[in-house]
Amino acid sequence: MISKIKPVLILVTLFLVLFFSVSPSFAQEEKVIKVSGFSPTRSGSPLLNALGNPYVSPAGPSTGSNIIASFISSPERFGPGKTIECSVDFQAPTDYISSGSLVNVDGKLLVDVFFATNTTQPLTQEEITELKKFLLTGGVVYAHTTASGGDQYVPLFQELSIDISFGERQQESTPTPSSDPEDIYLTTNGPFGTVGPLIHGPFRSILASGVSVIAYSPNLGTNILVESQIGSGYLAVASSPLHVNVLAQGNNIRYFSNLVAIGCKDDNSIVLPVPSFKQGLEPYDGIDPVWEKQIYDDALNTLPNCGQTMADCACALTSATMVMRYFDVNLAPDASSINPEIINNFFKVNSVGFIGPNFRWSYAGNFSAEANSSLIGGGQTKLEQPVRLDYDLEDIKALIQGEKPVILKVNDGSHWVVVKGYDPDDDRLIINDPLYPDPPPGQHAYLDERYTPDTTGSMVVYETTNSDYRYLEFAAVSKNHLLVEDVNGNKTGYDAETGQIVKQIPNSDYALDEYYGPPTDEGVYFLTIKLPSDGEFSLEIISQDGQPHPVQVYSSDIEGKLAGKTINPEVSGENYTFVYNEETAGEFVSAFIDAAIDINPLMKNNLLVPPNKKFPVPVAVLGSEAFDVAKVNQNSLTFGENGYEQSFDSCDDPWDINRDGEPDLVCNFIADELGLGVGDTEATLKGMYEGGIYFSATDLVWLLKPWFLF
């Protein structure tokens, strides 16, 4: 029986092989990058001739574009099994971009890459609308002018709401190398390798903000090439025809090959062009990246449990750097180009960017505001204070669709990555991982390959802003819990009475960022109030191990100026009051500690004798477990009707005047400088506690007789 079945199986197998190999409906469709552009009658430096072949200029070989066109159309480089799986198909160039010529009525791209070379006539509104639609749908556009060209593309930039225009002619000879582009972009570190200095000739300076500067003139300091993500598409703008034969040398060829490769859509994934940085890579030799062996924050003194180097600890910092660069926060306040090393150096000044070993997300906004105000001409992107969200796949997809990458906490808080896209077919999240090498060109790193997302407070989301940086932030190691209450009774933090986390104060959040190394069940609690109203906020510090632990407090004003203060509580449960004032929030943190006084402590009913310099008024500052009178700045004391009277005379040595086991501080005040009058029943003492913390206390008084009669 077996011998009869075997020939049948062979015939069936042969039929299926032949059928699938020749049937168009089952054969795998070859992936194609469709490339087009303006024709020779519309442009002085087109990529293609009228027939859609590489352009050979009648003026001579140096002004043609056939070198680069031939390179990117070569089946040795683009095609199945080659550097890029997609082959390149040149489409006939056009004299005019009509509606529906780049994107059809179903929203499908008819062209993938469009070379909008220098045009001899302005763009019409129809052309501008179609190019905008093309970019938003996922198309790639290369647009350029020349040293003597016009501003034909500026209306397109305005329609796209990006700040790009062209300045004066910059005279540099042909060929001249540009700056060395950073190897963090799709075009400068792509499938055809990293791109070095680009060769150019005379050009018009590009005046731009809010975009990525790819290349500039090292001699003149003016921009030659900039790029920007537009919707799902990509825009490159040059002020010199970098693609023509006379300039078509190695780096220029690699650049345009990487640019065209963006048009190869391997799948339906939605991916944002978030630059990739690494905190460190094996073998951790300090070569790639160069900062991996540098000391993270103040690790030699703080000894964080993640290690000491950036390779050990800088996952959150590196993830934030990627997102900053994605939003075109490209330069630090000193005009240095931002990378993880630069961020580490700036953020560790006075440790304003770190709490213990943990990265402080809020400071990225302040940093971007400082950079914006410090750079000549300003104009660089500023980041809003981040939003903390619980993990939600649908929220992530919506944020990606809204062109906002998500910094995500994974593996019980021990690591952070950047979610930059997702595959709509299976909802797999696509990431930039600061800890591992990027996958080969055309492939993605997926979250589920290595990580499980955390659930609570695990998403950090930034967006751009032009306005308000007001916030009040409290941070403490997780051995403390924090609870803040506003003047309306709203609470945010850990409510010890209910054992629950509450977030009642408007625009507030309370989240734990675990340490980046063991024990990862501990970390730093961040309690942040964005856009606080002017007024008082009370803080309760609740120790979870019975020991007091410091709390760091930051206050930011509307412009992003930052003030900070460290609170060192004496005991668990200690209460402080903070006064937020928009006008002074960036100058100092106004903090008050609870205190108590007893006026004329040796006399019942706080009776005051007539004012007489010979008989000063004694006031006892009462000590407690939470208030150490030895930490009172005696010279700061004022006392009287409203507490601002400069009436201080002297203080005695501390002693326990109320017999509660805690030393008290009895100080004397000049009676006729208290400002008390008929009908006054209270007097107030104000002063300064250790660490620049204020205190204020009020007690009843009884005037023996109207003072003016004595």
The angle at the Cα of 352, spanning 325 to 478, to the nearest 5 degrees, equals 105
**Res. 35: pLDDT tops 50:** yes
CB neighbourhood size of 342 (10 A) = 16
Q: Check whether 164 has a pLDDT greater than 90.
A: yes
Summarize the confidence of residues 244-258 as an average pLDDT.
94
Q: pLDDT for 437-447, tens place per residue?
A: 988 766 789 99
Q: Categorise residue 531: left if φ over 0, alpha if ψ from -120 to 50, beta otherwise.
A: left
Question: Following DSSP, what letter does each residue of 391-447 receive, concatenated?
Answer: --HHHHHHHHHTT--EEEEETTTTEEEEEEEEETTTTEEEEE-TTSPPPPTT---BG
Whether residue 221 contacts residue 213, with contact meaning beta carbons closer than 8 Å, is answered with no
- Using a pLDDT cut of 70, give the percent of the chain over it: 93
pLDDT at 58: 85
pLDDT at site 704: 67
Q: Mark out the alpha helices in 95-240 (DSSP H runs).
A: 125-137, 154-159
Per-residue pLDDT tens digits for 491-531: 999 999 999 999 999 999 999 999 998 877 899 999 999 99
- Section 639-650 average pLDDT: 95
How high is the pLDDT of residue 266?
63
Work out the burial of residue 146: count CB atoms within 10 Å of its CB; fewer than 13 is exposed, 13-18 middle, 19 or more buried: buried
Q: How many other β-carbons are positioned within 10 Å of the β-carbon of residue 542?
A: 16
Q: Give the pLDDT mean for 321-348.
A: 93
Confidence tier at 5 by pLDDT (50, 70, 90): very low
In this prediction, residues 422-438 reach a mean pLDDT of 94
Whether the predicted pLDDT of 425 surpasses 50 = yes
Residues in the chain: 710
pLDDT, position 705: 61
Is residue 345's pLDDT more than 70? Answer: yes
User: 564-618, pLDDT tens digit by residue?
Assistant: 999 998 887 789 999 999 999 999 999 999 999 999 998 877 877 655 556 789 9
Question: 538 vs 485, 490, 550, 567, 580, CA distance in Å?
Answer: 5, 11, 16, 13, 11
Give me the architecture of the 32-266 domain, per CATH.
Answer: 3-Layer(aba) Sandwich (3.40)
Same fold: 32-266 with 299-461 = no
Question: Looking at domain 299-461, does it have CATH number 3.90.70.10?
Answer: yes
Closest CA to 347 of 366, 322, 328: 366
More confident residue, 27 or 94: 94
Mean pLDDT of 282-291: 91
Tell me the C-alpha distance between 536 and 486, whole Å.
Answer: 6
Q: What is the dihedral of CA 125, 128, 129, 135, to 10 degrees?
A: 180
* Higher-confidence position of 419 and 616: 419
Pick the CATH number of 468-593 from 2.60.40, 1.10.287, 1.10.443, 3.40.50: 2.60.40
Give me the pLDDT at residue 6, please.
45
User: CB atoms < 10 A from the CB of 536, how many?
Assistant: 13
Rounded distance, CA 210 to CA 240, Å?
21
Task: Taking each helix axis as running N to C, give the angle between helix 363-374 and helix 340-347, from 0 to 180 degrees, rounded to the nearest 10.
Answer: 100
Q: What is the domain partition of the chain in residue ranges?
A: 32-266, 299-461, 468-593, 597-709
Residue 436 has pLDDT above 90, yes or no: yes
- Is 273's pLDDT higher than 70? yes
The reported pLDDT for the residue numbered 628 is 94
Residue pLDDT, tens place only, 532-570? 999 999 999 999 888 889 999 999 999 999 999 999 988
Q: How confident is the model at residue 12, as a pLDDT?
A: 41
Closest CA to 358 of 405, 411, 326, 320: 320
Tell me what pLDDT residue 146 has.
87
H or E segment to which residue 367 belongs = helix 363-374
Determine which of 264-278, 361-375, 387-401 has the lowest per-residue pLDDT on average: 264-278
What element of type H or E holds 9? Answer: helix 2-22
Average pLDDT over the chain, rounded to an integer: 89
Res. 25 pLDDT band, cuts 50 70 90: very low
Give the pLDDT of residue 271. Answer: 87
Confidence band of 706 (pLDDT split at 50, 70, 90): low
Between 4-18, 28-42, 573-587, the lowest mean confidence (pLDDT) is in 4-18
User: According to the model, what pLDDT value does residue 14 have?
Assistant: 42
Is the pLDDT confidence value at 13 over 60? no
CA pair distance 211, 273, nearest whole angstrom = 13
C-alpha dihedral sign at 82, 84, 86, 88: negative
Q: Which fold has domain 597-709?
A: Immunoglobulin-like (2.60.40)
Asked if residues 88 and 30 have their Cβ atoms less than 8 Å apart, the reply is no
Which residues sit opposite 358 in a β-bridge? 355
